[in-house]
């Protein structure tokens, strides 16, 4: 097998038949999913869904009762020491040595990973530059904002250059600007070849950030796959739903749609400078070319024409169950 083929097919994370119980509570029930290398994967679920239990199993902090977990092909139980060199884990609630400066904190962990003095100076400089914390390296951690502390924690995760980053609610408690800046850093890390596994409740941010997603509810996988597949959940197999935006409402276009065979439903939304048509039509009896042709013939400027994708929050609510969950 060539190197190119190996890279293409490599899975950063493979979970098969993972189950775990705490006394009478089944936290995970036959969980199966995988994460491609060099991607950002969202891990979503309500409180008590089993996300933290799964993260602990991946991070070698919890021995699974049933099933297997592999990180880049390495078993987390039988080869846990090797796995720990490949992963960086940033938990939701992290403790920091608040009396240390940023540099001292990172130097402490770099030394713990066995880096010599010269290597530590180089690595710390690199992770500080990546997280845009170079100007704060001499500041005490206790004086940093929550967002800055989150950056330091991420820098700490990176000092041993792991291939897989496990981030539990990384944007928790951050203001909007800090969240956006953190997401930009994560995208840069993916572009550098890292695989990023994010457990989060911030669904709207995951929609734009992640390449794929797994939804977990009551210890069971409800969906795993790419983002488009999730957002189109619930659309009938034989139907298309498209949104067409025109500069203004066109009665001739509306009438033409109503008279077109295969058009099932039309919804309109009048906005200040344009009109949006949500058009549902049969794949067998109508086409996007026909719809677009009718729009052009209405002699009103077409601003946008694209497939209608469900919002991530809506898809999430449809897949998960209501009710009180165990913490």
CATH number at residue 174: 3.40.50.300
Does residue 265 surpass a pLDDT of 70?
yes
Last residue of some domain: 231, 250, 273?
A: 231
The pLDDT of residue 234: 60
Q: CA-to-CA distance for 55 and 318, rounded, in angstroms? A: 24
Most confidently predicted of 43-57, 235-249, 307-321: 43-57
**Percent of the chain clearing pLDDT 70 (strictly above):** 91
On whether both 205 and 250 belong to a single domain, the answer is: no
Residue 316 lies in a domain: no
Q: Domain limits at 266?
A: 239-309
User: Residue 162: which of 187, 192, 119, 132 has the closest Cα?
Assistant: 192
3-state secondary structure of 287: coil
Q: CA-to-CA distance for 260 and 285, rounded, in angstroms? A: 9
Residue 315 lies in a domain: no
Please give the order of strands across the beta sheet that includes 275-282.
263-270, 275-282, 239-246, 302-307
3-state secondary structure of 93: coil
Does residue 307 surpass a pLDDT of 80?
yes
Residue 320 lies in a domain: no
On whether both 244 and 287 belong to a single domain, the answer is: yes
Question: For residue 34, with 0-12 CB atoms within 10 Å meaning exposed, 13-18 middle and 19 or more buried, which class applies?
Answer: middle
Q: CA-to-CA distance for 310 and 86, rounded, in angstroms? A: 36
On whether both 133 and 221 belong to a single domain, the answer is: yes
Most confidently predicted of 90-99, 112-121, 205-214: 112-121
Rounded to 10 degrees, the C-alpha dihedral 281/283/288/290 comes to -80
On whether both 86 and 191 belong to a single domain, the answer is: yes
* Residue range 69-82, pLDDT digits in tens: 999 999 999 999 99
User: Residue 223: which of 36, 9, 64, 43 has the closest Cα?
Assistant: 43
The pLDDT of residue 218: 92
**Percent of the chain clearing pLDDT 90 (strictly above):** 68
How many domains, in total, are found in the chain?
2
The pLDDT of residue 250: 92
Q: CA-to-CA distance for 102 and 127, rounded, in angstroms? A: 11
Mean pLDDT of the 276-290 span: 92
Give me the CATH number covering residue 252: 3.30.70.100
Does residue 324 surpass a pLDDT of 50?
no
Residue 324 lies in a domain: no
On whether both 171 and 305 belong to a single domain, the answer is: no
On whether both 258 and 124 belong to a single domain, the answer is: no
């Amino acid at each position: 097998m060539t190197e190119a083929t190996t890279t293409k097919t490599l899975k950063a994370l493979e979970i098969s038949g993972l189950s775990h119980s705490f006394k009478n509570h089944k936290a995970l029930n036959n969980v199966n999913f995988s994460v491609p290398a060099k991607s950002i994967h969202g891990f979503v679920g309500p409180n008590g869904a089993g996300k933290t239990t799964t993260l602990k199993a991946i991070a070698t902090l919890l021995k699974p009762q049933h099933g297997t977990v592999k990180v880049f092909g390495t078993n987390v139980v039988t080869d846990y020491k090797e796995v720990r060199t490949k992963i960086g884990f940033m938990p939701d609630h992290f403790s920091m040595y608040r009396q240390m400066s940023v540099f001292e904190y990172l130097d402490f962990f770099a030394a713990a990973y066995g880096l010599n003095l010269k290597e530590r100076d180089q690595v710390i400089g690199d992770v500080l530059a990546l997280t845009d914390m170079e100007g704060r390296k001499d500041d005490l951690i206790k004086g940093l904002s929550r967002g800055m502390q989150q950056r330091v924690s991420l820098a700490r995760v990176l000092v041993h250059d792991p291939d897989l980053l496990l981030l539990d609610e990384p944007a928790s408690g951050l203001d909007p600007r800090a969240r956006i800046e953190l997401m930009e850093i994560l995208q840069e890390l993916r572009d550098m070849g890292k695989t990023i596994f994010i457990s989060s409740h911030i669904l709207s941010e995951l929609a734009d950030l992640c390449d794929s997603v797994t939804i977990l509810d009551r210890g069971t996988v409800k969906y795993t796959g790419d983002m488009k597949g999730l957002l189109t959940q619930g659309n009938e197999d034989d139907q298309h739903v498209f949104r067409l935006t025109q500069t203004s409402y066109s009665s001739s276009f509306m009438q033409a749609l109503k008279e077109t065979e295969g058009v099932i439903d039309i919804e309109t939304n009048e906005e200040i400078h344009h009109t949006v048509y949500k058009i549902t039509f049969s794949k067998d009896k109508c086409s996007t070319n026909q719809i677009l042709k009718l729009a052009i013939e209405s002699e009103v400027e077409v601003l946008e024409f694209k497939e209608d994708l469900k919002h991530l929050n809506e898809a999430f609510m449809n897949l998960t169950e209501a009710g009180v969950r165990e913490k």
